[in-house]
Amino acid sequence: MARRKSVQNFPYSIHQVLLNNQQTISATNAGFSTPTFTMSTWCKPTSLSGSHWEGLMLLYDGTINNRVLLAVSQNLGSNFLGYYDNTNGIKLTTVKLNTNVWQHVAMTKNGTALRYYVNSVPVFTDTLAGAAPTSVDRFGVGTGGLTAESMEGDWTGARFFTSVLTDAQIADLYYEGRSGVTPFVEYLCTEGSGSTVADTSGNGLTGTINLSTWSTQSPTKARTALSTARSSISVARTDISVARTSV
């Protein structure tokens, strides 16, 4: 089977620094219920000393204590995936994200069943231990909803779906940038400047950027640089082979 290559293009990302309430929050809306959903985004978390947790993707109903989110816990320089529920607070998995590297992260919720993915690969399953809001008033990216819960690092290509995507659809998101399912909210971060991020789902839920900054760092450019480096190595090996043949 031929190896799949990503064809999606992300020219920009949103850069955030810890503890500054940096986040992107959509406008108030109705119509998104939470019994089943999928969250996905590209992210590049940084490594910090100390222990704290940070929100990566947030759903809540207007009351910040009634929320569910995909979180990253930075513990002594390592980043672990986890989630927050309204009963028990943060609950971590054993899945460690790479620091300073772009990776695609997704979480599905089907009732109380949670399923995590990194770069299209299912990596962990869990059960939502506490309550979650039954409907959603706000969508957030790079935040847990409170000042000290902003993610440290970069993100782009964030999507929220009202259904549970299959393994194949998650893989399509990672490789192709599309799943065949229309997202309820989609932030592709193509603007590169300004204080808002367009919602390209068609639902008009424009994201407002709070204190974060635009960055030219992106998974697209990271893959292009890697591909160029590999090509240079290949050319160098060819030159060595030719030289040996000539001798």
Asked which of 132-141, 160-169, 181-190, 230-239 is least confident by mean pLDDT, the reply is 230-239
**Of 73-82, 163-172, 202-211, which gets the smallest average pLDDT?**
73-82
pLDDT of residue 176 exceeding 70: yes
* 3-state percent breakdown (helix, strand, coil) of the chain, nearest 5: 15, 40, 40
Q: What is the CATH number of domain 13-246?
A: 2.60.120.200
When pLDDT is averaged across residues 163-186 and rounded to a whole number, the result is 92
pLDDT, one tens digit per residue, over 202-241 is: 999 999 998 889 999 999 765 443 343 334 434 344 444 5
Question: pLDDT value at position 90?
Answer: 78
For residue 158, count CB atoms less than 10 angstroms from its CB and return exposed for 0-12, middle for 13-18, buried for 19 or more. Answer: buried
| Pairing outcome for strands 36-45 and 153-161 | antiparallel
pLDDT at 185 over 70: yes
